[in-house]
Structure 1
Amino acid sequence: MRVLITGSNGLLGQKLIARLHAEEGVELIATSRGANKLAKLYPAVRFVQLDVTDQTQVEQVLMQEQPTHLIHTAAMTNVDECELNQADCWKQNVTAVENLVAVCERQQVHLVHVSTDFIFDGKEGPLTEEAVPAPVNFYGKSKLAAEQAVQRSRGPWAIVRTVLVYGVAHEYGRTNLVLWVRDSLRAQQPIQVVDDQLRTPTLAEDLAQGCWLAALYNASGIYHVSGQEVLTPFQMALRVADFFQLDSRLISRVDASTFSQPAKRPLRTGFIIDKAQRELGYAPHSLEQGMALVAQQAG
């Protein structure tokens, strides 16, 4: 297998490189729009700069590298930023996917595309793969349009949807709920966390494993890949405080109406992951196991 990863500098991209760089029988090509952040960690991994919004570049790189499989992790994922900068969001989340689909279809490259629970309206959850999408924000609309572009392909493809990803990455500016709660409480900083949203939080290593299994087995169709535990962010924050032995009295329970955010969030999502477990052998960590890994990596 010759596996090309887009977005190799991102959280999921980094976990895929870590998981696959020593995998027997896998030739790995890391690509990202920016310079390679992982050069010192994985000097043997081939890196090629690639802006997936540039159709000519996509064609040139895929022609040059000749991957058998492509795992597409690059995306604009800041939900509020997507709401405020819709043209840029569409370019990064939809146009880029259309570029990749066109070349993957032509070269019959197996494409694994990463999507999100935010394509749903939040009226019910947890959800199976058969749930009908109805996004409530522009990020969700862009990710649904990207899924539809993948589904129109006459090449081999799988879509891996996920929920509320957390983990530790190298030289990565963005945070996530686990790290934000831990760091805030360590600094004795009171925080407000919503208790009216349901999610199935996902360890980044688990998502990487799900994407890899979809590629390895040349999976076809849509797979829900997340953690198994259905939690509100507030419940999750209490578990973080307990795990890291921090003061949970600093955490205030609020609802989503407390915050004025440009983009609306779906209230209930979370995934039923039976299909990925059954067909791919996907087996996620528990939240405590995930936090133990975060503690080990982040100190």
Structure 2
Amino acid sequence: MKKTILITGSNGLLGQKLVELLVQQPNVNLLATAKGENRLPDATGYRYVSLDITNAEEINAIFENFKPNVVIHTAAMTNVDTCETDQEGCELLNVTAVAYLIEACQKHDTFLCHLSTDFIFDGADGPYTEEATPNPISVYGASKLRAEKLIEASSIRCAIARTVLVFGIVADMSRTNIILWVKKSLEEGKQINVVTDQFRTPTLAEDLAMGCWLIAQKEAQGIFNISGSDFLTPYEMAIKTAHFYGLPTDLIQQADSSTFSQPAKRPPRTGFILDKAKRELGYRPRTFDEGIALMSQQITK
């Protein structure tokens, strides 16, 4: 029997990768939703509907019309500094909207896969397991933790997929990431300062989409760490990018995070231990080097 899967935030990086992955699945009826027009160039094999997730009536209408079996909730305010300066908007998108989705999932017995973040942790002793105690140090991290708590307090069937520093390429190349930034800067002969005192397990967007699909297929309940497996600093990521493209590494200068002025605090050492997702879901992320190679193929298409 076919499952109807609803994606929120389908115009975003993860949302686009989920659409690309799920249209290939013969047992899925796919409904992609985001605010405004569809930004994917190919609308074949799925339905797109504009949805404002901060509007409970719009959510209820979509659930009544399409009766999704599974929702993969990727839409959020993810710019950490914007969350710090627009706390009301952050609360609305990252917490209130989740409460509306929980209510709709409850009414329709819909399974919810909710995307969360390593920023729910303070970064004192990463990488983290699913059982680690959260302690956010930013408005963004606190909002995502509140959403997790709302979900855990509900009686819906659900999973929380936590991830870290997602990178990849959107269809219209409108978004940058550390790999594209390093490549462009070095090609232009610019010196760049990259931090050495933050640690992450950077996540290829295609791998995160696969992790969400594995959860959705099984309707596996609980918290799952879905990230890359390489534990790296941004400086190490930059060096790997330069090596891949044969660009000069002497333009990459080491810096510490105190030299950057940003509204939101960043946790110094996060990253995830993936044993549970590998064991229970069969999740197998690519290496960071493999992620750079895949992105390189997509750029040259």
Paired residues of 1:166 and 1:202 also in contact (CA < 8 A): yes
Paired residues of 1:90 and 1:142 also in contact (CA < 8 A): yes
Write out aligned runs for 1:73-84 (5 A).
Answer: 73-84=74-85
**Structure 1 residue 169 corresponds to structure 2 residue 151:** no
Paired residues of 1:11 and 1:172 also in contact (CA < 8 A): no
Name the stretch that deviates more: 194-203 or 172-181: 172-181
Partner of 1:251: 252
Structure 1 stretches of 4+ moved >6 Å: none
**Structure 1 residue 14 corresponds to structure 2 residue 16:** yes
Partner of 1:262: 263
Partner of 2:96: 95
Shift of 1:147: 0.7
Partner of 1:105: 106
Shift of 1:41: 1.5
Write out aligned runs for 1:1-299 (5 A).
Answer: 1-38=3-40, 40-171=41-172, 173-299=174-300
Cα deviation, 1:209-230, whole Å, max 9, x if unaligned, reads 0011011011100000111110
Cα RMSD (Å) of the superposition? 0.9
Distance 1:146 1:4, change over 3 A: same
Shift of 1:178: 1.4
Partner Cα distance (1:100, 1:173) in 2: 28
AA partner of residue 60 (structure 1) = A
Cα deviation, 1:161-188, whole Å, max 9, x if unaligned, reads 0001100011253311111111211221
Which runs of no fewer than 5 residues in structure 2 stay unpaired?
none
Partner Cα distance (1:238, 1:290) in 2: 14
Partner Cα distance (2:113, 2:61) in 1: 20
Partner Cα distance (1:225, 1:246) in 2: 31
Partner Cα distance (1:104, 1:172) in 2: 33
Shift of 1:43: 2.6
Shift of 1:286: 0.7
Name the stretch that deviates more: 120-129 or 168-177: 168-177
Partner Cα distance (2:9, 2:114) in 1: 12
Q: What TM-score results when the alignment is normalised by the length of structure 2?
A: 0.97
Partner Cα distance (2:36, 2:246) in 1: 38
Cα deviation, 1:92-124, whole Å, max 9, x if unaligned, reads 111111110110011110000000000000101
Partner Cα distance (1:146, 1:105) in 2: 16
- Identical-pair percentage: 52
Cα deviation, 1:108-162, whole Å, max 9, x if unaligned, reads 1000000000000010111000010000000000100111111122110000000
Name the stretch that deviates more: 174-183 or 113-122: 174-183
Shift of 1:17: 0.3
Partner Cα distance (1:171, 1:143) in 2: 28
Paired residues of 1:206 and 1:285 also in contact (CA < 8 A): yes
Partner Cα distance (2:151, 2:182) in 1: 36
Partner Cα distance (1:279, 1:51) in 2: 33
